[in-house]
Amino acid sequence: MSSTAPWVLDVALGLAHLHEKSVVHGDLKADNILITPSLRACIADFGLSSIITSCSSLRFTNSSQKQGGTIRYQAPELHRGGDNNLRSDIYAFACVVYEVQLFPL
């Protein structure tokens, strides 16, 4: 993981920043992570992103859609009709990390 660790950290910090601002990306996947010339990772494509509008304990809802994004990165609850939320972004992030470890660049 040593060669991908900086990218993983960049994406984790970027996702944390989005979540601090109440933004759910909604389609985090390897194709939506861009590597800059200085080898920093940036999250891109906010076409399915949404703002969290309500919170009750650990349940989050968003303002726009029930679900969206790339099926292979979707949390299981989205396949059962759940909402995109902070936890589904984290699940997608874990899928990206797993994929990068299996298929390094």
**What is the pTM (predicted TM-score) of this model?**
0.80
Cβ proximity of 48 and 27 under 8 Å: yes
Residue 54: what pLDDT? Answer: 64
Judging by DSSP bridges, how do beta strands 59-62 and 50-56 pair with one another? antiparallel
CATH fold of 5-102 reads Transferase(Phosphotransferase); domain 1 (1.10.510)
3-state secondary structure at position 13 = helix
pLDDT-derived band at 18 (thresholds 50, 70, 90) equals: very high
Query: Which sequence spans correspond to the domains of the chain?
Result: 5-102
The token pair that represents 11 in the structure block: 């994406």
Q: Is 27 a catalytic residue?
A: yes
What confidence tens digit (pLDDT) does each residue in 85-100 have? 899 999 999 999 999 8
User: pLDDT, tens digit, for every residue of 32-80?
Assistant: 999 999 999 999 998 787 888 765 434 444 444 445 678 889 888 888 8
- The predicted pLDDT at position 27 comes to 92
**How many residues are listed for the chain in this entry?**
105
Catalytic, out of 10, 27, 83, 89: 27
